[in-house]
A and B are shown apart, each in its own frame.
Chain A
Amino acid sequence: VTGSPPLFSVLIPSGVGLEADVARTVDSVSAQSGALHELIVLHAPGGADTLPGSPNYSAHMNAAIESANGEFVMIVWPGDELDPNALEHLASSLASDPAADVVYADEVLVDEGGASLRQMRKPEPSIHRLRSQMYLGRMFSIRRALAVRLGLRDFPGAEHHDLVLRAVEESARFVCVGKPLYRRVLRDGDSPFLVRDDKAGASGVAVLAEHLARQDIDAEVSWWRERGTFRVRRRIRSSPLVSIVIPTRGGSARIRGVDTVLVTNAVAGVLATSSYQNIEFVIVADAETPPDVLRELQQLGGERLRVVPWTLPFNFSAKINLGAIEARGEYLLLLNDDVELMTPDWIEALLSIGQGQDVGLVGVMLYYEDGSIQHAGHRYTAEIAGHIGLSTRGDTVGLPGSMSVDREVSGATAACMLVARRAFFDVGGFTECLPASYDDVDFCLKMGGSGLTAIWTPHVELVHFESQSRDGRITEYEQRTLFSRWRSRLASDPFWPL
């Protein structure tokens, strides 16, 4: 770490027929304003490709990195271009955070004619997401000494993912520059940030498996071929009791054209679908809940179901708190009564994430009855707390693949959320100051404040029969209460925009 501006070594792989692309990239590097840089174009003997994924890429690149003089190295694909101020922005970030080891920025996808297609935003450092996807993409620069020490290894198509994961293991400091500084050419068949070919998929699985083994995480890795992302499933420790806490007033609604009692439908669905057996239901029922609904619930759940009466005026938070107090499980699974389970191994999937030491809560994918997305995590801005993916098509992949990866979020809806009982009590449960709205936002932000992470997973899916036309108006009081606690935190969501 030095006080003077760093020298960047920009490394450009090359290959047969890529001369024009290399020239374009060289021009964009030469046009850099301000920051000090040197340019190295890799030429393999005989003009063979030196692109990532090609044979001996790692050896060629390691040699180039060793011979470089820069404090930081950066690999730019031939044909891609740096924003004229890219290196200056990176240098400025490093000046304000001199301990940074890896600095990365957003990318802009452009067509082969150079026209901008869309911006690929990247979240703040997210280790859980990194285990599902190399979300750093192409635009990152790493301290040369670290890159030399770690070296690129022969994992065709996953060389950089491997490098970055090992940098994480070395406790490297990652810094995100939230600016689009890299123009990435989108060619036919390209799927940025997603792994589509078998070789890279296999490499990715191997890289992640090694990483998890080194981290002493007992987990299974798979490649989600259709989506181009990876999935890490930790093996569940023991089989803890999970208490499913459902506040209800025993209401009914038309589901698929049939009048349905929501809470019994939810409980019956869980009992019929869920593969995890060590569960109990804690139903917090309003006084007006019809007795026949309570009877049916008792019949459905038997000894595994307890009804806790709620006799005070409506307060969703207080009902959740009462349910949590009554619950005996090590984990609480907060569930609305108007949901229907789609994923049989949902509790295993939730525990697999929720048992992580740094994890405070896990949110899920919720769909409306018509199949569109209702919730893929919370997103916060200075004005509003809303749902990621709201009303988009159910098969939306998201940018860049955000609907297909376990990822860090600032919060998730309490319509379905797993939380460790201990963590729930440590943050004082749900605030009774917010009886109807924003209670889960506040809860998630308290959890974040206590140093625990919120994770959203696409691997647990439920239908949420909440009407798309539901009156989502927030009272001024709720707005004021939430913002008095979290104004600055809401205004700077590290995981939104994606």
Chain B
Amino acid sequence: MTGQNDSSEGTTIGEARRQLYLVDKILGLEAELAEVRIACERSLAEDRRAREDADRVLAERERAAGDRERMLDERERSAASATVEIERLRSRVEIVQNELEAVTSSRSWRTARLILRPVAAIRRVRHRAKGRE
């Protein structure tokens, strides 16, 4: 049977057990601390990644919003310029119509039509003859 003294260490069994317990406790705590540190680093890294993701999404949203605003501006600008263009064309058509009316109602226009009438008749006869051949 055993004695109560560990002669090689010069300590009692109880002290030796206590020593083992303390060394284990320290190493265990160090290991736990290392694990906590790893978990902490991992969660910080995850946090960083999440923040980067959020920043990216935010930036994309801002970019999209900017794009939308730009597109709306563009649309407004194009609508405005289209209105101006339509007005310009409308007034141009009016001018041309007026000019045409002025031409067709002029004495020289009527005279020219009278002169050209026989020529047109000859053209019609020739055209029919060609069709018969």
Interface of A toward B, CB cutoff 8 Å: 306-309, 318, 321-322, 324-326, 328, 425-433, 442, 445-446, 449-450, 484-488
Contact = CB atoms under 8 A, between A and B. Distances in A.
Nearest to B2: A308
A326 B13 contact: yes
B13 A449 contact: no
Contacts of B24: 427-433, 446
Interface in B1-50: 1-2, 6, 8-9, 13, 16-17, 19-28, 30-32, 34-35, 38-39
A359 B22 CA distance: 24
Contacts, number: 73
A486 B31 CA distance: 7
6 contacts: A433-B24, A442-B28, A445-B31, A484-B32, A485-B35, A486-B31
Contact of A309 (B2, B9, B31): B2
Contacts of B16: 325
A321 B20 contact: yes
A446 B22 CA distance: 14
A488 B38 contact: yes
A451 B115 CA distance: 121
Instruction: Tell which of A431, A485, A487 has the most Cβ of chain B within 10 Å.
Output: A485
A323 to B, nearest CB: 10
Chain B contact surface mostly = helix
Contacts of A486: 31, 35
A485 B17 contact: no
B20 A326 contact: no
Given A307-B2, A425-B20, A425-B23, A325 B35 contact: no
Interface residues of B, number: 25
Ranked nearest first, the 10 interchain pairs of A and B with the lowest CB-CB distance are: A428-B24, A428-B23, A485-B31, A429-B20, A308-B2, A325-B16, A431-B24, A488-B38, A428-B20, A321-B20
Contact of A322 (B9, B13, B25, B26): B13
Contacts of A432: 21, 24
A421 to B, nearest CB: 9
Contacts of A326: 2, 6, 13
Contacts of B20: 321, 324-325, 425, 428-429
Nearest to A323: B2
Given A309-B1, A325-B16, A326-B6, A428 B31 contact: no
A322 B17 contact: yes
B13 A428 contact: no
Contacts of A445: 31
Given A446-B24, A487-B38, 14 more contacts: A306-B1, A309-B2, A321-B20, A326-B2, A326-B13, A426-B23, A428-B28, A430-B24, A432-B24, A446-B27, A449-B31, A487-B39, A488-B34, A488-B38
B38 A306 contact: no
Instruction: Tell which of B16, B22, B38 has the most Cβ of chain A within 10 Å.
Output: B16
A431 B26 CA distance: 11
Instruction: Tell which of B13, B19, B24 has the most Cβ of chain A within 10 Å.
Output: B24
